[in-house]
Structure 1
Amino acid sequence: MARVAIIIPTFNEAGNLGRSLRHLKGLDPPAFEVWVVDGGSQDETVAIAQAASVQILECDRKGRSVQMNEGAKAAKADILCFLHADTWVPDDLIAVIEHTLTDPKIACGGFIALMSGKQTTRWGISLHNYLKTYYAPLLFKPHLFFKGLRLLFGDQVMFCRRSDFWECGGFDEALPIMEDGDLCLRLVKKGRIYQVNRVVQSSDRRVARWGSLKATAIYLYIGILWGLGVPAAYLKRFYEDIR
């Protein structure tokens, strides 16, 4: 049986981390290790992680790419699974990951993210995000689409073999945004990017702040510009941190 490490980058995630870690405690089979990699939180994030008895790594530099790479370096498992602190997974997560990667032609996998809040489910945006996994590479990288490229994003809980991750260079630490899509572009050289037909639940806090129309417009704008090669540093201006 392959060993799976779950790596969670955090920064001021006290409002969500406890729930995520409670879900992870119910995994059957369990993860081999769970790492919370904190980028200098000023709230109770680290205390919540300590109370959950997971492994904690505190980074000198904040940034999701940096933190996820540091977690990957510390992990000992054969498979790396990158999980956002505001995303909740099914209890058979580990079994699904192991089964998916038994296919040597698959280099990376992810799930269908269903975005929801306390009293609403964002069906339209969730559907668009699902379709974007397919239409974005077809439009902007058709030669890679037919080789198996799909564009997965952090909310979709990305996972891959440790060896493939490092052979592709890990996450690009210079990218403040779209580091997940960038990794897909490199991992497809190792094999197909596969979206598992299972759902994970992700917080709608960004949509709740912006509103559905504004959020959809921003997602489309960023996606199109990124597909056309606009630098991620410019795109980050439109994607504020929301806690």
Structure 2
Amino acid sequence: MSEQSSQGDDDPGEPLRLSVIVPVWQEAATIQATLQHLASIREAGHQVIVVDGGSDDGTPQLAEPRCDRVLSSGGRGRACQMNAGAEVATGNVLLFLHADTRLPGSTLAALKRFHTSRNAWGRFNVRLSGKRPLFRVIEWFMNRRSWLTGIATGDQALFVRRPVFEALRGFREIPLMEDVELSARLRLVSRPFCVTDPVVTDSRRWEQQGAWRTIFLMWRLRWRYWRGESPESLANAYRSDVRNAQEP
């Protein structure tokens, strides 16, 4: 495995203490498998926190035996959930993981290297779970875009040093683009540490809504965001597009 970073001298101070924060909502069908993939991280002495956004399908109860803490954020919205998890986390590095994303087996080794680097934050390359050749093209563009811009999205399992996250006051609690917004602020602190061993993200969203439709939707939303449109307006546009895609 290789990664791009501005490496400094090894820090002989405190070792890596990782807190993985997983925001969830209505994930009863998948939460047990999600947390099983994180079992080796817990066994190594690190922390896994699940933050529920008001599920009524039993997600919190299914998660409880397989993580260190289950919280309720008091409302849906990944930004709110991830900030709630960060408040109770004990780690010196926080990693924010979507429930449909799987970390590579080399995660702890990579984050130990990050911990001794000068970088303030980082992200993984991403791979989509689907087998279609189009998904390989989408992955390439996602990873290349992130490399060139220094901006990461939630699918890339963003991680950050806790003091930096706290100094920036965490995620802005907006309904969409919270990961892009935080990345833009983190980029002012340092370039991201890039782990090239990819996380694997479920491609069901692309498959259910149509790959090309999803590509155009996400680029359209990002373009409108960079032009200054409010996250609330973009969230409404996203929900409307998803509803239209689901109609027969």
Partner SS state of residue 192, structure 2:
strand
1:200–1:31 distance in 2 versus 1, CA, 3 Å: farther
1:151–1:210 distance in 2 versus 1, CA, 3 Å: same
> Deviations along 1:10-41, whole A, 9 cap, x unmatched?
11112222222111113387352110000111
**Hey, what's the Cα distance between the residues in 1 that align with 2:210 and 2:45?**
36
Q: Which moved more, 1:94-103 or 1:150-159?
A: 94-103
Counterpart for residue 142 of structure 1: none
Partner SS state of residue 76, structure 1:
coil
User: What runs of 5+ residues in structure 1 fail to find an aligned partner?
Assistant: 138-149
Counterpart code for 1:109: G
TM-score (norm 1): 0.86
Counterpart for residue 203 of structure 1: 202
Alignment of structure 1 residues 1-243 onto 2, 5 Å:
1-27=15-41, 30=44, 32-104=46-118, 106-117=119-130, 120=132, 122-135=135-148, 137=149, 150-173=150-173, 175-240=174-239
**Hey, what's the Cα distance between the residues in 2 that align with 1:80 and 1:239?**
28
TM-score (norm 2): 0.85
Aligned 8 A contact 1:28 1:91 in 2: no
1:133–1:163 distance in 2 versus 1, CA, 3 Å: same
Aligned 8 A contact 2:22 2:49 in 1: yes
**Hey, what's the Cα distance between the residues in 2 that align with 1:161 and 1:31?**
18
**Hey, what's the Cα distance between the residues in 2 that align with 1:101 and 1:81?**
12
**Hey, what's the Cα distance between the residues in 2 that align with 1:54 and 1:108?**
24
Counterpart code for 1:107: A
**Deviation at 1:81?**
0.5
User: What runs of 5+ residues in structure 2 fail to find an aligned partner?
Assistant: 1-14, 244-248
**Deviation at 1:209?**
1.5
**Hey, what's the Cα distance between the residues in 1 that align with 2:212 and 2:188?**
36
Aligned 8 A contact 1:29 1:95 in 2: no
Task: Give the alignment's Cα RMSD to 1 decimal.
Answer: 1.9
**Deviation at 1:53?**
4.2
> Deviations along 1:135-183, whole A, 9 cap, x unmatched?
5x3xxxxxxxxxxxx110111001010000010110001x111101111
> Deviations along 1:75-106, whole A, 9 cap, x unmatched?
111110000000001123122112123112x1
- Once the two structures are aligned, what percentage of the paired residues are identical? 31
The total of aligned residue pairs comes to 226
**Hey, what's the Cα distance between the residues in 1 that align with 2:59 and 2:126?**
23
**Deviation at 1:185?**
1.4
Aligned 8 A contact 1:27 1:90 in 2: no
Aligned 8 A contact 1:29 1:92 in 2: no
**Post-superposition, which runs of at least 4 consecutive aligned residues in structure 1 deviate over 3 A?**
none
1:22–1:120 distance in 2 versus 1, CA, 3 Å: farther
